[in-house]
């Protein structure tokens, strides 16, 4: 056992990852870095078809670990156990290589929590990974939905989009210090405007995929909301064929988002329909969408208080609450009936 282990073993937080995915691990690493509290996680993603650490998890943990010169045990592909011993958090530029199509959105989700209290901005250059992924937020979702909700000034530039299976995206990020304030979003208010992006690889231009996604979304938004959709249509030079659409509603007090990913055998019109239907659900039932709610929780806790109303209390939300309370002196109240989540310092 190293001297660092000996000094910190008494304070080691034990985490069981058997009932959760990568979200639990990303949040734990980020909050461990911020608080200086070491942890050990076992049974990492054991309920998943391919358990253990994936490439995107390795890169997120490695990058955050660089920021605090962490001692890490078990940082290997497929590892089901990991120990993380952070030191002092410092502002350091990062160069990241994600060799798979792993989600850049999820990578940034973890890194930006960890860097929320940095003293000066840092530059993050990302080579590889995906900007559009299944079961993960598009990078544009962070830029257009999450960051405005947080009043986050971090800048993201997508140099090249990446889709499954090759990924190979490129992105540049300037992470800036965040002024943490209590988050209160219970009433969304009236709609101000509805916007979006329809993206497809250049190989799908002949089939007019991005244009068809956008046109169908416009038609449905007009039907559902009686409003015009302002949507940017773009074809991109990606290494894999793919497409995606992001839609978001700006209201007086909030931003509510939805996205859908193109898949083989799924029409462009179906991609757009799925995004619109999800947007309607999120807007009708919450003041923030369920994905934003999940991502806002650590920031609510870091600000010592907050209250939001979302469309649905998901397993991700409950899992995130449980791990945040292990690292920070806060207590969450999750009201399943009214779909509200409140946080207060203890």
CATH number at residue 222: 3.30.360.20
Q: Is the dihedral of CA 313, 155, 173, 210 positive or negative?
A: positive
Q: Check: CB of residue 324 under 8 Å from CB of residue 298.
A: yes
- Cis peptide preceding 163, ω within 30 of 0: no
Instruction: Read off the pTM.
Output: 0.94
Q: Which of 90, 104, 223, 244 is nearest to 231 (CA)?
A: 244
Q: Check: CB of residue 139 under 8 Å from CB of residue 131.
A: yes
For residue 73, what is the domain's CATH number? 3.65.10.20
Domain-embedded: residue 107: yes
Domain-embedded: residue 43: yes
Answer with the one of 179, 213, 247 that is the final residue of a domain: 179
Answer with the one of 74, 89, 104 that is the final residue of a domain: 89
Residues 155 and 97 in one domain: yes
Q: Which residue has the tokens 């991005």?
A: 210
Q: What string of pLDDT tens digits covers the 346 residues of the chain?
A: 455 444 545 589 999 988 777 889 999 999 999 999 999 999 999 888 889 998 889 999 999 999 999 999 999 999 999 999 999 999 999 999 999 999 999 999 999 999 998 989 999 999 999 999 998 999 999 999 999 999 999 999 999 999 999 999 999 999 999 989 999 999 999 999 999 999 999 999 999 999 999 999 999 999 999 999 999 999 999 999 999 999 999 999 999 999 999 999 999 999 999 999 999 999 999 999 999 999 999 999 999 999 999 999 999 999 999 999 999 999 999 999 999 999 999 9
* 3-class state of residue 281 by DSSP: helix
The predicted pLDDT at position 1 comes to 47
Residues 161 and 221 in one domain: no
Taking CA 289 as the corner, what is the angle to CA 152 and CA 178, rounded to the nearest 5 degrees?
15
Residues 246 and 273 in one domain: yes
Q: Which residue range(s) make up the domain with 25?
A: 1-89
Residues 80 and 163 in one domain: no
Answer with the one of 63, 89, 115 that is the final residue of a domain: 89
Residues 258 and 200 in one domain: yes
* CB neighbourhood size of 147 (10 A): 18
Domain-embedded: residue 72: yes
- DSSP assigned state of 262: -
The predicted pLDDT at position 278 comes to 98
Catalytic residue flag (residue 57)? no
Domain-embedded: residue 147: yes
Of these residues, 5, 291, 315, 316, which one is catalytic?
A: 316
Domain-embedded: residue 34: yes
Q: Which of 100, 305, 287 is nearest to 185 (CA)?
A: 287
Residues 174 and 205 in one domain: no
């Amino acid at each position: 056992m190293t001297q660092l282990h000996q000094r910190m073993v008494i304070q080691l937080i034990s985490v069981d990852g058997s009932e959760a995915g990568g979200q639990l691990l990303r949040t734990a690493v980020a909050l461990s870095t911020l608080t200086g509290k070491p942890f050990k996680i076992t049974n990492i993603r054991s309920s998943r078809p391919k358990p253990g650490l994936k490439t995107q998890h390795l890169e997120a943990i490695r990058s955050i670990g660089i920021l605090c010169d962490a001692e890490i045990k078990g940082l290997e592909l497929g590892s089901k156990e990991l120990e993380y011993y952070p030191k002092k958090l410092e502002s350091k530029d990062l160069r990241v290589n994600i060799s798979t199509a792993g989600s850049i959105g999820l990578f940034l989700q973890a890194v930006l929590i960890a860097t929320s209290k940095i003293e000066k901005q840092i530059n993050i250059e990302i080579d590889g990974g995906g900007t559009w992924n299944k079961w993960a937020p598009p990078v544009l979702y962070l830029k257009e939905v999450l960051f405005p909700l947080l009043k986050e000034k971090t800048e993201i530039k997508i140099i090249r989009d990446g889709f499954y299976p090759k990924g190979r995206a490129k992105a540049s990020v300037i992470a800036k210090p965040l002024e943490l304030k209590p988050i209160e979003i219970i009433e969304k208010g009236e709609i101000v405007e509805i916007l979006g992006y329809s993206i497809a690889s250049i190989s799908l231009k002949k089939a007019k995929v991005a244009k068809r996604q956008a046109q169908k979304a416009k038609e449905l938004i007009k039907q559902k909301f009686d409003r015009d959709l302002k949507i940017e249509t773009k074809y991109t030079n990606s290494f894999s064929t793919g497409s995606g659409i992001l839609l978001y509603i700006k209201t007086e007090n909030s931003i509510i988002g939805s996205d859908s990913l193109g898949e083989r055998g799924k029409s462009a019109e179906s991609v757009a329909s799925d995004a619109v239907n999800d947007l309607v659900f999120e807007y009708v039932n919450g003041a923030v969408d369920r994905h934003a709610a999940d991502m806002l929780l650590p920031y609510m806790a870091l600000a010592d208080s907050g209250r939001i109303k979302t469309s649905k209390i998901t397993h991700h939300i409950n899992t995130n609450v449980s791990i945040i309370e292990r690292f920070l002196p806060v207590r969450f109240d999750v009201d399943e009936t009214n779909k509200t989540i409140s946080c207060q310092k203890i």
